[in-house]
Every structure is written in C-alpha cells, then in structure tokens.
Amino acid sequence: MHLEKIGVLGCGLMGAGIAQTAARAGFPTIVREIDRELLDKGIDRIFAFIDKGIARGKTTVIERRKVSNHLAGAIEMEDLTDCDIIIEAIPENLELKREMFRALDNMVGVDTIFASNTSSLKIADIACASKRKDKFIGTHFFNPVPLMKLVEVVRTEDTSDETFDAVMDFILAIDKVGVACVDTTGFVVNRLLTPYLLDAIRAFEAGIASVEDIDNAVTLGLGYPMGPLTLIDFIGLDTVHHIAGIMTGEFRLSQYESPRLLRLMVEKGWYGKKSKIGFYDYSTEQPTPNDSELKKIIQE
Ligand code: CAA
C-alpha cells in the first residue's frame, strides 16, 4: 500500500508541524481545523516557522515553496475524504477523538488509514470507535515536529502488517525515523521522560538547586539539548500535568504523580512559554528564571 494524499486533523502546534513536514516532503497534504480563525492561525504558524528558519540560514525558500505548493487548509471534514491516511492531532480528549474517527469512518474510502498523534492515550481505546481497527495506528511525533526526527509508531493487536509497513514507509519518506512500540500508555518516550521531568520539579521543590542550575546541570552534565525545566515550559505545564495524571491512573506509581508545585502553577494558569510564565518568565526578550515567585508558591 502506498500513501499519497495526507490528511491532518487539527492545526495546533503538533498538527501544523505534521502538515508542514508532509507537505515539504512533496505529499499533497490537507489540514483541517474547526473554524477559519484557527485554520489561519495554524497556517500562519507554519510559514512563520519556515521564515524564521530561512532568516537563520537553517532552511531555504525551496522549503517554503514546497510547503505552499503542497499544503491546503480545510474547515469541512468532507474535504479529507480522498486522503490515504488521516493523522489526528486534536486535543487529548478521548471522547473527542472517538467522535472524530466515528464521523470519518463513514466518509472515507475503506482503505484509508487512521492514525492518532496522541502522546498519552492508548491507541486501542481510540480505535474502538472506528470499524477499521486493522487500519488504525499511532504516529506520535515530537515537538518541534519539523526538526525532531522521531516518530513512535504504535501498533495495537489489531493493526495489520500492511498498515504498519505503509506507515513506516511514509515516515521514512518524510525524513523521519519510526520506532515500533506496543500500545501502552506513554509509549517509550513519555514513559521515560515524565518521571524525569517531574523529578526535576521535585528537586527544585526540595531546594536542591536553582531553576537555572538544574537546567545547566542536565545540559552540561548529560549533554541534553535543553534542561528539564525549560523543556516543561516548552511542552506546557498543563500538558505535563495532564500526561502525569493519565500515567498515574494507569500505572499507580508515585513517580508519575504531579508534584504540588506543578499543580499550583497550573491552577494559576502558569503554563510555561505559551502563557509567558512558568519556570522562566518570558515577558522579556531573554527568558529569566522565576525562582523567587516559585518559592513564594512553595511556601503558600
Ligand atoms: N518544543 C517547542 N519548541 C521547541 C522545542 C520544544 N521542545 N525545542 C526547540 N523549540 C523551538 C525553539 O524555541 C526555536 O523556536 P524560536 O525560534 O521561536 O525560538 C526553534 O524550535 C529552534 O530551536 P533552536 O534555536 O534550539 O534550534 P536548534 O536547531 O539549535 O535545535 C532542536 C533545535 C533540535 C529542536 C533543539 O532545540 C532540541 O533538541 N530541543 C529539545 C526538543 C525536545 O526535547 N523535544 C521533545 C519534547 S517532548 C514531546 O514532544 C513529547 C510529548 O509527548 C510531550
């Protein structure tokens, strides 16, 4: 089976990245959002990302041209009907995802593959809403999608070899590397990443080191590209908290439980970079560590 036309559901951070990646590899790609405003915002995000890359000499106008030639936006689900694969990247809400695939099931051809970019739900729990369980798979991309090479490719017990092979070929064709995982909460990366990120918060809560020193210890001592507290700010504190909740529910292990500080920060609407405040303050051009405000929260 050869995948030619790509559909992406959702043009938020992940959906936009997936659509950009497929389009720049030359696949006709259609990305769908629920309204014109969100769609325009998502498409603008794609071209702003490329333009920044061009200005920094990391990509060229050729990528821009390829994306604009191969990418289209849509509001109607019906516009996805002739896609060979539809990759869902909508919010992490099981019922919403099920509803979307239930609706699509009756619209698209029998051969269309359904994929979910969920980072924390089980693929089988989403797939049960569709009648094509053999054509249902997980494709978990990483942020920022256009730059990160990995895709976790998640098979359920029902995913056929044909579906798996077609998706692995597609991933190779968009210049990514697929790793095969079984369908378990958090797959490989979040299973390892979540306790590590939460432990970094616990280290700060315990007064082991400052925000900046925890990050520097990891970047300089372990060679990671970014420290854990910066990474939490980038992923979004609300997202990390949400994933921790799902993983705690599944595994019942304290290592996955959200630390008190994370819970309080989320309650305050401190979501990290997207809300301009988290472990760092992003209201100025150069992010500044937020230690003194965080200590006040710890003492509350
Ligand atoms: N999330 C969102 N944006 C990110 C990001 C991340 N994790 N990491 C980097 N970026 C953004 C940067 O902010 C920058 O954007 P601006 O120009 O707007 O500042 C852009 O990507 C380029 O980043 P760099 O300037 O650092 O460029 P680089 O070429 O030196 O390195 C990189 C790029 C390879 C992506 C490097 O930054 C990196 O490795 N970052 C860590 C990425 C990471 O750990 N991703 C996994 C996140 S976890 C996840 O996605 C799974 C999940 O389910 C929660």
For position 254, which CATH number holds?
1.10.1040.10
CATH number at residue 82: 3.40.50.720
* Pocket lining: 225 vs ligand 1, CB cutoff 6 Å: yes
pLDDT for 120: 87
Whether residues 132 and 217 fall in one domain = no
Reported confidence tier of residue 212, pLDDT bands at 50, 70, 90: very high
Closest atom of ligand 1 to 142 CA is: 50
Whether residues 178 and 199 fall in one domain = no
Range of the domain at 30: 6-182
pLDDT digits (tens, 9 = 90+) for 118-148: 998 999 999 999 999 999 999 999 999 999 9
Closest atom of ligand 1 to 189 CA is: 51
Q: Report the separation in Å between the CA atom of 34 and the middle of ligand 1, taken as the mean of its atom positions.
A: 27
Residue where one domain finishes, among candidates 182, 198, 219: 182
Q: CA-CA distance, 14 to 141, in Å (whole number)?
A: 8
* Pocket lining: 142 vs ligand 1, CB cutoff 6 Å: yes
* Pocket lining: 144 vs ligand 1, CB cutoff 6 Å: yes
Closest atom of ligand 1 to 56 CA is: 17
* Pocket lining: 75 vs ligand 1, CB cutoff 6 Å: no
Catalytic residues: 119, 140, 152, 190
* Pocket lining: 234 vs ligand 1, CB cutoff 6 Å: yes
Domain for residue 93, yes or no? yes
Q: Report the separation in Å between the CA atom of 237 and the middle of ligand 1, taken as the mean of its atom positions.
A: 16
Whether residues 283 and 260 fall in one domain = yes
| Structure-block tokens of residue 47 | 């071209």
Domain for residue 10, yes or no? yes
Q: CA-CA distance, 14 to 67, in Å (whole number)?
A: 16
Q: What does the DSSP assignment read for 168-232?
A: HHHHHHTT-EEEEEES-TTTTHHHHHHHHHHHHHHHHHTTSS-HHHHHHHHHHHH--SS-HHHHH
What is the total count of domains within the chain?
A: 2
Q: CA-CA distance, 172 to 176, in Å (whole number)?
A: 5
Whether residues 69 and 212 fall in one domain = no
pLDDT digits (tens, 9 = 90+) for 57-93: 999 999 999 999 999 999 999 999 999 999 999 999 9
Domain for residue 1, yes or no? no
Helix (H) or strand (E) holding 40: helix 36-55
What is residue 93's DSSP assignment? -
